[in-house]
Structure formats: structure tokens, C-alpha cells
Amino acid sequence: MSIIVQKYGGSSLADDEKIMRVAKRIVDAKRDGNQIVAIVSAMGKTTDYLISMAEKITSSPPKREMDRLLSTGEQISMSLLAMAIHKLGENVVSLTGPQAGIITDSSYNKAKIIKIVSHRLLNELENDNIIIVAGFQGETENHDIATLGRGGSDTSAVSIAAALKANLCEIFTDVDGIYACDPRIVPNAKKLKIVSYDEMAELSILGAKVLHPRSVTVAKTHGVTIHVRSSFNHNIGTVVKEVSSVEREGLITGIAHDFNVAKVVVFGVPDTPGIASLIFTELANADINIHMIVQSAQIGNKNDIAFTCSLEDAEEARKILQKVSDEIGAERVLVDESLAKVSIVGSGMTTHSNIAARMFGALAKAGVNIDMIGTSEITISVVVKSSDCGDAVKTLASEFKLTSF
């Protein structure tokens, strides 16, 4: 008998009608001869509502208490879905993250899963129960509830699939699969049949919202096959797995874009050993994640250092660097929040030398100016004005034939 882990997002559980639809889907999969573990997110906008409630009480809620609050959203979903499945005549049990054996570190609001103690899950499956698990949460070694951050239910699902050695992990969402680029920008964007772990991880990190990056990393580490598909129909979606060269669909797999980008520039940095280390150590100590970094050519024993970070970190980064600049004798700090990042991702670029030239040429023809450039083995990213982001995505989709017609 196959073990199938399914994950349902908030849009799939937004009201009682949708909960009953999901319940029927789970029951049908069980009656097809499978053992089912379903991981659920909070209904609709529940998490946003809970955050707004906290903000009415205090502008700086303790992280531990915030996790206690936010974890209730998924627990509402799991209980209602379990009731719906029971109504359809199947044995079912709902479990919180801690009850399901999800053990995390103590980084409240962004905890990482350390291990999954699967005894309870295996016992419930042995007793012929469908299991509904509250995603997005686990238990610290001090027995506190900790949440995994936005998109954490994906990570819950893949981690449980790995622990149970499940045959498949299905991620149900409100779209038919993974598209080569955002259909809201490119309406005829191609739906992908297969995406490799590495490509999916890059797309997720660079702005694609379908899967959480950590879930893809866990899937690759443990060899979990992921099927991303719609909860509103029975169409075949997109499979994320290890991909051979024969299975690849083209040189470029997809385009990601991200408006959550700020550029921070420190002008006139003394060209002295250890200065860059000092700058980025101070940012790291404040838990500010840095993305692209560019250092200009030396002029008069001084350089300019520019990097990108998220918009929410930009002001804190500016304050930190203003203080550092005063200490090291740099000239000034500038923050630009009117930017977006556009990235092409594809394993094919490792064997084709003209990909960058084609990308930059296409953007030039479209009149899109490039502010910064960053690369990895399978990615080229550019920072552009946010007002040019849509044109950049459309142009690159056309250049690399990522549309369905």
C-alpha cells in the first residue's frame, strides 16, 4: 500500500464548500488503496487576520507568544477538515505539528525542522486512519510551539514525506502547476511538466511563490518526488524531481521576478583589508540577508560597495551602515527601493555560452536598463527599475520561448 502525503494551501480551504471538496479528494485517494497524510495551511487570510489582531495589542509582540497565536490558524483547518472526512465515513485523526512529532530549533517565527519522530504517524496509519496534520509548526526541545515562517507548510509536508518514505508528496494549490513565468504578466506562459530540484530551488529563492525554497532542499536531500497541482481539478500538474538531460524541455526553464528588492550603496569605502568583512559582519549580526553584491573599481584608494536586500531590511541596513561609515571614513549611504529583480533559470546555460548575451540583448531592445547583474551556475539575475519589471519578463519569455503559443 502506497503512502501519499498531500498538502493543501489556504486558498484550497478558504470556506466550508472548499473544505468538503478537499475532504472528498482525500477520501477518494484513500479508497483507491493509499494511506493518506494531509498537511494543511490556515484557511484563506487567517494568518493575516491573526497578525492584525496582535498588532492591535502591541507593535512588538514577543516572538514566542506570536508563534502560539499563529499556530492556531492551521489547527482550525485541521479540525474542520477532519470533521468533513468523518462525515464522509472514513476514520480520521487530526494532529498538531508537535503531536505529529515535528521537532524544531528555537528560532521563533522562522524555525527549522531538526527531525521528525514518526512513531505516532506510523501507528495511526497502521490503525487505518487518514491523518490530518497542522502545517507550519513544530515543537522545540523545550516543548514550546515554533512556526516555520511563511510557506512553512510546504516544508512540513515534504519533511513528513521524507520521514515516512512516502511514495509521493502532492502539493495542492490554486493553480494547475508551475509555470515558466508568472501568468499574470505573461498570460500564455508555458506550464512546465518537469522541473529539477536545483532549478525549482533557484526559482523559489528568486521570487516564484509556488514552493518554499526549504521544502525543495529537503526534497532533494531525501529524494522526495513532488507533484504540484490544482485542488480545483484533476489535471496533471508539474513534477519536481531529479531530471536527466533527456527530460529537459529547453535551455531556460523559467523566469522569476521579485519586487521585494532594495539596493544599498556605501560610497567611498576605504580600500583596506578587512573593511568588507566589517561591513557584512555587522549586517549578519542583525540577521539581514544579503543577495547580490557588487564592488566598483578602485578610484583614489576608495571603492563603492553595493548590495541588495529585502525591502523590510533596507532601513535597518541603512542605519547600521551609516554608523559603520562614520567609523571607517566612508562618504555616504544610499538606499534605492524603486527596483525589482528579474532572473532566468535553467541548467542548459551551463553548456551554452550565449545565454547572457541573448538576455542582455533582448532587454536592451526592449529599452530596459540594467542596474546590477548577478550570476550562479544555472541563474542570471538583473536588477531593473520596478516599472520595467513586466516588460523585462515579457521580453525574456519571448526570447527564450517560454510561452505555450
Domains belonging to the chain, first-starting first, are 3-174 (3.40.1160.10), 255-399 (3.30.2130.10)
Query: Has residue 176 got a pLDDT over 60?
Result: yes
In the structure grid, which three cell numbers stand for residue 173, read together?
A: 494549490
Q: Please work out, in degrees rounded to the nearest 5, the angle formed at the alpha carbon of residue 38 by the alpha carbons of 201 and 75.
A: 100
Report the pLDDT averaged over residues 187-197. 94
* Dihedral (CA of 178, 180, 182, 184) sign: negative
CA 133 to chain centre: 20
pLDDT at position 68 is 96
Burial grade of 245 (CB within 10 A; 0-12, 13-18, 19 or more): exposed
Which tens digit of pLDDT belongs to each residue from 108-145? 998 999 999 999 999 999 999 999 999 999 999 999 99
Percent of the chain scored above 90 by pLDDT?
85
Q: What is the mean pLDDT of the chain?
A: 94
Whole-angstrom distance, CA of residue 30 vs CA of residue 303 = 63
Residue 247: pLDDT band by 50, 70, 90 thresholds?
low
* 346, pLDDT greater than 80: yes
Render pLDDT for 41-50 as a digit per residue (tens, 0 to 9).
999 889 999 9
pLDDT, average across residues 259-269: 95
Mean pLDDT confidence for 160-188:
95
pLDDT at 158 over 60: yes
Q: Please report the sign of the dihedral spanned by the C-alpha atoms of residue 244, residue 250, residue 252, residue 256.
A: negative
The least confident of 135-139, 155-159, 247-251, 308-312 is 247-251
Report CA torsion sign: 85, 167, 148, 55: negative
Alpha-carbon distance of 37 to 259, in angstroms, equals 35
* CA Rg value for the chain: 23
Spatial contact of 206 and 256, defined as CB atoms under 8 Å apart: yes
pLDDT higher than 70, residue 246: no
The pLDDT value recorded for residue 129 is 98
pLDDT value at 300 more than 80: no
pLDDT score of 303 more than 60: yes
- Mean pLDDT on 91-101: 98
What integer pLDDT is reported at residue 248 of this predicted model? Answer: 65
pTM: 0.88
Q: What's at 158, amino acid-wise?
A: V
Query: What number is the average pLDDT over the span 307-332?
Result: 93
| pLDDT band for position 249 (cuts 50, 70, 90) | low
pLDDT of 244 strictly over 90: no
Rounded to the nearest angstrom, the gap between the alpha carbon of residue 280 and the centroid of all alpha carbons in its chain is: 24
Segment 286-307 shows an average pLDDT of: 88
Nearest to 148 by CA among 139, 72, 162: 139
Which 3-state string (H, E, C) describes the chain? Answer: CCEEEEEECHHHHCCHHHHHHHHHHHHHHHHCCCEEEEEECCCCCHHHHHHHHHHHHCCCCCHHHHHHHHHHHHHHHHHHHHHHHHHCCCCEEEECCCCCCEEECCCCCCCCEEEECCHHHHHHHHCCCEEEEECCEEECCCCCEEECCCCHHHHHHHHHHHHHCCCEEEEEECCCCCECCCCCCCCCECECCEEEHHHHHHHHHCCCCCCCHHHHHHHHHHCCCEEEEECCCCCCCEEEECCCHHHCCCCCCEEEEEEEEEEEEEEEEECCCCHHHHHHHHHHHCCCCCCCEEECCCECCEEEEEEEECHHHHHHHHHHHHHHHHHHCCCEEEEEEEEEEEEEECHHHHCCCCHHHHHHHHHHHCCCCCCEEEEECCEEEEEEEHHHHHHHHHHHHHHCCCECC
Of 163, 130, 138, 161, the C-alpha closest to 226 is 161
The strand pairing partners of 263, in sequence order, are: 308, 336
Confidence of residue 347 (pLDDT cuts 50, 70, 90): confident
Q: Which three cell numbers stand for residue 36?
A: 493518506
Mean pLDDT of 319-327: 92
Predicted pLDDT at 192: 94
Q: According to the model, what pLDDT value does residue 350 have?
A: 72
Q: Which residue has the higher pLDDT, 127 or 298?
A: 127
Nearest partner of 74 among 138, 1, 161, judged by Cα: 138
The whole-number pLDDT of residue 245 equals: 63
Helix axes 63-87 and 16-31, enclosed angle (nearest 10): 60
The 10s digit of each residue's pLDDT in 30-67 is 999 999 999 999 998 899 999 999 999 999 999 999 99
- Amino acid at residue number 37: V
pLDDT of residue 251: 85
